Amino acid sequence: VEPDEAWAEEVRKLARERDAVLLAHNYQAPAIQDIADHTGDSLALSRIAAASDASTIVFCGVHFMAETAKILSPEKTVLIPDARAGCSLADSITGAQLREWKAQHPGAVVVSYVNTTAEVKAETDICCTSSNAVDVVASIPADREVLFCPDQFLGAHVKRKTGRENMHIWAGECHVHAGINGPELAERAAANPDADLFIHPECGCATSALYLAGEGAVPADKVKILSTGDMVHEARATKAKSVLVATEIGMLHQLRKAAPGIDFRAVNDRASCAYMKMITPAALLRALREGADEVHVDPETAARARASVQRMIEIGQ
């Protein structure tokens, strides 16, 4: 299936017939981003899903994102064009592992990244995304221990920003972002001394970038640790003529649309998330035609998970 005008018209017609809103994450293929009613980062899309009055949400992203939409709006039909679109980061902690970790730290507040299963969210006090993780942890009284999961690089970033000592970090990672490494970033930064560095906090290189800045190898004001949504805002605000982007390469599409005059380049142009790319034009068409794959969350798990997601949505609004 080619994402041509006939395809776009068919998608729009079927979406209207289903009273569906199409949401696409910033890592989706360009054709999917362009047909969506809204593109954004995980926090923005959760908020839009919660506020939308459409009866069906078609989530072009990965499974935990569609699951989060279902948790927030159990009365709506939530479809994902391919339910196999998982997430290696969400797979790095199970509900049972989190229960065991909590038992070792009674009284600790559990903060989970939104890249987790509904079962993990149900064991969580407050969810966060990369755009509000620092605010979420800062909102917890200083004398309470914090268990942060599952991303170790985002956890390290939050710990640095909040200066919090009583924070334990789970050793999970996203295989795509962990693969964007420090030496690669250092080499690219040295070859492009005037470029801004936009770095997603899930990256293995986020710590190295701050180290390079600390050593004076890169001007500190050029190193920007940002969620995917904040990258789009920063693209509109920066005076830089070129930007090195350390995140999944789908991001480049929104950045180039937001600031066509800037030369955006990937730090690692192999950093593509195969799960995100399972949402093909053909899969989207099938989802709208067949009403599949539908996302279900056990109502009791959803009710427990909802409290932690709602706390996240309320912070910083």
> What residues make contact with ligand SF4 under the rule CB under 6 A?
62, 87-89, 115, 174, 176-177, 248, 273, 275-276
**Closest approach of Cβ 178 to ligand SF4, in Å?**
9
| Ranges of H-type helices in the chain | 5-17, 30-35, 42-51, 63-72, 95-104, 118-122, 133-138, 152-162, 175-178, 182-191, 206-214, 228-237, 251-258, 281-290, 299-314
Q: Are strands 38-40 and 77-79 parallel, antiparallel or unpaired?
A: unpaired
Q: Of 175 and 256, which CB lies nearer to ligand 13P in the complex structure?
A: 175
Q: Shortest CA distance to 311 belongs to which of 128, 189, 133, 154?
A: 128
Q: Which of 28, 42, 152, 308 binds ligand 13P (CB under 6 A)?
A: 42
Binding part of the chain for ligand 13P, among 129-137, 156-164, 203-211, 295-303 by CB under 6 A, reads: 129-137
Q: What is the dihedral sign for C-alpha 233, 113, 138, 157?
A: negative
Q: Which of 15, 41, 52, 116 binds ligand 13P (CB under 6 A)?
A: 41
φ, ψ (nearest 5 deg) of residue 194: -95, -5
Q: Does 129 bind ligand 13P (CB under 6 A)?
A: yes
163: Cβ–Cβ under 8 A, 6 or more apart, which residues? Answer: none
Q: Of 42 and 108, which CB lies nearer to ligand SF4 in the complex structure?
A: 42
Q: Which stretch of DSSP H or E encloses residue 247?
A: none
**Closest approach of Cβ 19 to ligand 13P, in Å?**
26
Q: Of 167 and 174, which CB lies nearer to ligand SF4 in the complex structure?
A: 174
88 binds, options ligand SF4, ligand 13P, none, Cβ within 5 to 8 A by partner type: ligand SF4
228 binds, options ligand 13P, ligand SF4, none, Cβ within 5 to 8 A by partner type: ligand 13P
Q: Does 119 bind ligand 13P (CB under 6 A)?
A: no
Q: Does 92 bind ligand 13P (CB under 6 A)?
A: no
Q: Of 29 and 240, which CB lies nearer to ligand SF4 in the complex structure?
A: 29
Strand order in the sheet with 223-225: 223-225, 196-199, 242-246, 263-266
Cα of 250 vs its chain's centroid, Å: 12
**Closest approach of Cβ 126 to ligand SF4, in Å?**
19
**Closest approach of Cβ 145 to ligand 13P, in Å?**
25
- Residues 198-217, interacting with ligand 13P (CB under 6 A): 202
Tell me how far apart the 2 most distant CA atoms of the chain are, in Å: 59
CB 264 within 8 A of CB 254: no
Interface with ligand 13P (CB under 6 A)? 26, 41-43, 115, 129-131, 174, 202, 227-228
